[in-house]
């Protein structure tokens, strides 16, 4: 499915089991059944297993593969003037910081996306003038934080003209 055909694209990364999980009686909560088909296993006592199809699922890191299957596909939409958001959800301890930011030797999806965006902008600079605004926020423990200008938690509200707005969120 092309990004233009959808207003929401879901990509699921299913991490490989850790050595500790392999050594124990670990049972996966989410399992890739076939490429983009995943099964979420409910608690044993209240067994409500759910199988669903995502727009893409990734079984292994590295971030460059995650980038190719997720944020890379939104760059054309951004260049056409659409507002695009990327939500990254991982449980505590699942290396979400590494997924998003990465390291110098293994950059994350945020770095890879930004580099590719600016390559695309440079290639099209003769055609159009672009203005890029970026915000970077975190929702943690039901509070919204601006990660580019950390202050106090931010409030969210609905504006009749702008829609949902995070009041005080900085744009750079």
Tens digit of pLDDT for each residue in 114-159?
A: 999 999 999 998 998 888 888 888 888 889 999 999 989 999 999 8
What percentage of residues in the chain have a pLDDT greater than 90?
A: 19
What pLDDT shows up at residue 62? 65
What burial class does residue 100 get, using C-beta atoms within 10 Å of its C-beta: 0-12 exposed, 13-18 middle, 19+ buried? buried
Looking at residues 71-88, what average pLDDT do you find?
82
Which domains, and CATH codes, for the chain? Answer: 3-132 (3.40.850.10), 135-172 (no CATH)
* The predicted structure's pLDDT at residue 118: 93
Mean pLDDT of 71-89: 82
Say if CB 75 and CB 117 are below 8 A apart: yes
Q: How confident is the model at residue 94 (pLDDT cuts 50, 70, 90)?
A: low
Q: What is the pLDDT of residue 6?
A: 56
Weakest mean pLDDT among 71-75, 122-126, 166-170: 71-75
Q: How confident is the model at residue 52 (pLDDT cuts 50, 70, 90)?
A: confident
The C-alpha atoms of residue 46 and residue 59 are separated, in whole angstroms, by: 27
Res. 108: pLDDT tops 70: yes
Check: pTM over 0.75? Answer yes or no.
Answer: no
Mean pLDDT of 79-103: 76
70 within 8 A of 82, measured Cβ to Cβ: no
Q: DSSP letter string over 74-141?
A: GHHHHHTT----------TTS-HHHHHTEETTEE-HHHHHHHHHHHHHHHTTTT---------EEEET
**4-43 burial: b if 16+ Cβ within 10 Å, else e:** eeeeebebbbbbeeeeeeeeeeeeeeeebeeebebeeeee
Give the alpha-carbon dihedral of 108, 110, 115, 119, to 10 degrees.
Answer: 130
């Amino acid at each position: 499915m092309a990004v233009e055909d959808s207003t929401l694209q879901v990509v699921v990364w299913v991490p490989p089991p850790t050595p500790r999980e392999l050594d124990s009686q670990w049972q996966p909560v989410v399992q890739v059944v076939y490429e983009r088909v995943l099964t979420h296993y409910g608690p044993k006592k209240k067994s409500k297993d759910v199988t669903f199809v995502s727009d893409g699922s990734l079984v292994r890191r590295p971030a460059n593969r995650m980038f190719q299957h997720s944020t890379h596909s939104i760059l054309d939409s951004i260049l056409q003037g659409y507002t695009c958001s990327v939500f990254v959800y991982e449980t505590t301890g699942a290396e979400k910081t590494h997924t998003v930011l990465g390291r110098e030797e293994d950059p994350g999806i945020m770095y890879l996306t930004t580099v590719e965006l600016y390559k695309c902008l440079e290639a099209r600079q003769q055609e159009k003038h672009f203005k890029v605004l970026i915000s970077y926020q975190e929702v943690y423990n039901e509070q919204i934080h601006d990660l580019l200008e950390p202050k106090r938690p931010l409030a969210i509200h609905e504006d009749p003209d702008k829609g949902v707005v995070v009041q005080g969120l900085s744009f750079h």
